[in-house]
Copies of this chain bind each other. A is one copy, B any other.
């Protein structure tokens, strides 16, 4: 077994909650905090913490605005986030193929 792809996995993205958030955001230009929270069944606190970690890594950007006089928080992947996510999925694919070669 080649351990290299395991070693290269980025812990910021690998954690399962953040992997789900990144996957949701990779499929769309942006999502509101509420959409992400409801789709993933996360608590506000949990999602806030994960988004902050992804923001600090430079993978997600957060925009605050208003919609119908109510605050709206939207999240999207940065260019670095898209690149890191694509790399991560390629590593997971290599890992799966090593273990299930068929």
User: A: which residues have CB within 8 A of B?
Assistant: 1, 3, 6-7, 9, 11, 14-17, 19-20, 23-24, 26-27, 39-41, 89, 92-93, 95-96, 98-100
The answer to whether B98 and A96 touch across the interface, beta carbons within 8 angstroms, is no
Interchain CB contact (< 8 A) of A99 among B7, B16, B26, B39: B26
The answer to whether A95 and B23 touch across the interface, beta carbons within 8 angstroms, is yes
Most buried by B among A19, A27, A39: A19
Closest to A100 in B: B89
Cα(A24)–Cα(B1), bound, Å: 7
Which B residues touch A98, using CB under 8 A? 23
Interchain CB contact (< 8 A) of A89 among B16, B17, B99: B99
